[in-house]
Structure 1
Amino acid sequence: MPMHTQQSLSGFIASEPQLTFTRTGEARFYATVGQEHYERNQDGSFTQLDTTFHNLVIYRRSAELAFEAFQKGDKFLAEGYVNTYEYEVDGQSVPGEEFIAKRLGHDVARHHYTVDRTRRAQAADATQVVGQEATAAAATSAPADAAAADAEPAPAQQAESQVGAARRTGLGRRLASVAGRPGGAAARESIGM
């Protein structure tokens, strides 16, 4: 299978980001972005050229997240494609272009930020709790003889396979979102854990 590639855009947010909604109710993030350009000189130094400005647009849930995460001056990397269009100014058709981003992130080479990994940590804690409960259940209901042990998997093995299935199918994320709440054990039971 060939490698999947996309166009990319990097630069800085040059205007205050705007969050609007389309006629169909989809969120739309818009910002003017700037790109600094440099030219390498014969002696190895660089000369800064004029900065160019472009339109950056993102839709749906990504638009809402980008509006929360970005502000004027932030350095970014975007993946998506260039959309060309025409609009009218004083009765004349003028070409325009915008970069439609599918993904947008801070440029770690030029911008320091902290990643919130609480969801990942909560998922690990929740699966550990399920494993401990399964181990306790196995200790109280262990089969009396070896033949019975071969015939039916122990509750601990069943619980471990449930945890593995939860990780593979995404149930672990739902489990993580309810694990820290009051009644989390009842919520885990309601999703089959």
Structure 2
Amino acid sequence: MSILTKQCLIGFIAAPVPRPKSTEQGATRVQVRLRLPHWRRNPGGTFTPLKDTYCTLVAFDDVAQELYGRFTKGDKIIAAGVVRTSDEDRDGRAGPREQFVAYHVGHDAVRTRYVVDRPRVQAETLGLPVAAVGL
């Protein structure tokens, strides 16, 4: 069995996350602008910052709701999904444009401090002795 992979995007949310909107098909949609930093590794092991680029990230339904509810401008985000190219002229710009359609989003655990709230599991449910719970 092969490992399922998707494209991944790592960057910072560059503008406030707008309220979700509904599509013509009734899906929930959020579109945000991401800043993607670039670096060049030097021979001595140091890094030189290069010019940042920007891209559009689009999320639908549950992912859109999570993006709106949990992220804000400046957050470092990791997203998995696909790049979609279209020639549509939605905002007055002609020519092809790319959007990253996110199927999964999350904060970068290295740069984000947070607490994970998990439901407490009963020892009997797992078939473990009571002393083993919480290890």
Could you say which residue in structure 1 is the equivalent of 2:81?
Answer: 80
Paired-residue identity, %? 36
Could you say which residue in structure 2 is the equivalent of 1:112?
Answer: 113
Question: 1:91–1:70: structure 2 CA closer, same or farther, 3 Å change rule?
Answer: closer
Residues 37-59 of structure 1 show CA distances to partners (whole Å, capped at 9, x for unaligned) of: 01122333221111100000110
SS at structure 1 position matched to 2:115: coil
> What 5-or-longer segments of structure 1 have no aligned partner?
132-162, 165-193
> What 5-or-longer segments of structure 2 have no aligned partner?
127-135
Quote the Cα distance in structure 2 between the aligned partners of 1:94 and 1:78.
Answer: 26
Quote the Cα distance in structure 2 between the aligned partners of 1:83 and 1:27.
Answer: 18
Quote the Cα distance in structure 2 between the aligned partners of 1:90 and 1:20.
Answer: 16
SS at structure 1 position matched to 2:64: helix
Could you say which residue in structure 2 is the equivalent of 1:38?
Answer: 39
Alignment of 1:1-193 (within 5 A): 1-18=1-18, 19-88=20-89, 93-117=94-118, 120-121=119-120, 124=121
What is the one-letter code of the residue matched to 1:105? Answer: G
Question: 1:4–1:91: structure 2 CA closer, same or farther, 3 Å change rule?
Answer: closer
Question: 1:84–1:90: structure 2 CA closer, same or farther, 3 Å change rule?
Answer: closer
Quote the Cα distance in structure 2 between the aligned partners of 1:48 and 1:70.
Answer: 25
Bigger-Rg structure (1/2): 1
Question: 1:85–1:24: structure 2 CA closer, same or farther, 3 Å change rule?
Answer: same
User: Do 2:63 and 2:102's aligned partners in 1 also have CA atoms closer than 8 Å?
Assistant: no
Quote the Cα distance in structure 2 between the aligned partners of 1:59 and 1:75.
Answer: 19
What is the one-letter code of the residue matched to 2:54? Answer: F
CA drift at 1:92: 7.0
Residues 53-112 of structure 1 show CA distances to partners (whole Å, capped at 9, x for unaligned) of: 000011012211221000000001111100001133998731100100100000011111
Per the normalisation by structure 1, the TM-score is 0.59
**Higher normalized strand content (fraction of residues):** 2
State how many pairs are aligned: 125
CA drift at 1:21: 1.2
**Higher normalized helix content (fraction of residues):** 1
Quote the Cα distance in structure 2 between the aligned partners of 1:87 and 1:47.
Answer: 37
Quote the Cα distance in structure 2 between the aligned partners of 1:5 and 1:88.
Answer: 31
Per the normalisation by structure 2, the TM-score is 0.82
Which fold has the larger relative contact order, with Cα–Cα distance below 8 Å and residues 6 or more apart in sequence? 2
Quote the Cα distance in structure 1 between the aligned partners of 2:53 and 2:71.
Answer: 20
Question: 1:81–1:50: structure 2 CA closer, same or farther, 3 Å change rule?
Answer: same
